[in-house]
Amino acid sequence: MPRIGVTGHVILAHGTAELVSASLAEHLRPYAGPGLRGITCLANGADQLFARQILALDGTYEAVIPAADYRQHAVERENLADFDELLDLAAKVDYMPYPRSGRQAYMAASEELLDRCEMLVAVWDGRPSVDIGDTADVVRAARERGLPVTVLWPAGARRGRSSR
């Protein structure tokens, strides 16, 4: 059974989470069972939807957290309970050696995720990266490594707007 990593958009428009969740469930269903292993950075949006689908399909996941201050610096207040719950449910949690969250830490965590997986699911609208470590950068890095990448962006899905 391959270890499956995820990358994807953090901010999803209203109604998109349900579409993405259904698409992830359909894609992951053939791997269902206790042998299913996921790898995620547990960011809001695609990463957390992926973790929930892994659990729903009787699998487990590892969390690669970008920095020591990730929860305090990068997790929005309204997402803290979900983040904490999913962090507690992870089979393994590793923190990257960055004291502070930022673009370099996010990309390093994604590179570590790619080191641990045999295939990548990208919840991605196909647009280029705006900043280092965005979804397009992770997809490019996976393809450069020769990892199989499955892009999921269901019909009707839209990115949301940042509240920052």
Each residue of 104-150: pLDDT tens digit?
A: 999 999 999 999 999 999 999 999 998 888 999 999 999 999 999 99
Question: Residue 32: which residues within 8 A CB-CB, separation 6 or more?
Answer: 57, 58, 59
Interval 87-101: pLDDT, tens: 999 999 999 999 999
Encoded tokens for 125: 């609208």
Mean confidence (pLDDT) of the chain: 96
- What is the mean pLDDT of the segment spanning 144-161? 96
Query: Please, which pLDDT band fits residue 70 given cuts at 50, 70 and 90?
Result: very high
Q: Are 28 and 60 in contact (CB under 8 A)?
A: no
Q: Rounded to an integer, what distance in angstroms lies between the CA atom of residue 164 and that of residue 154? A: 26
Give the SS3 label for residue 12: strand
pLDDT for 3 beyond 90 = yes
At 164 the pLDDT is 41
pLDDT for 64 beyond 70 = yes
At 131 the pLDDT is 87
Among residues of the chain, what percentage have pLDDT more than 90? 93
pLDDT for 162 beyond 90 = no
pLDDT for 31 beyond 60 = yes
Among residues of the chain, what percentage have pLDDT more than 70? 98
Q: Rounded to an integer, what distance in angstroms lies between the CA atom of residue 31 and that of residue 48? A: 18
Q: Which CATH number fits domain 3-152: 3.40.50.450, 3.40.50.720, 3.90.1510.10, 3.40.470.10?
A: 3.40.50.450
At 161 the pLDDT is 78
At 163 the pLDDT is 45
Give domain limits for the chain: 3-152
- pTM of the full structure: 0.96
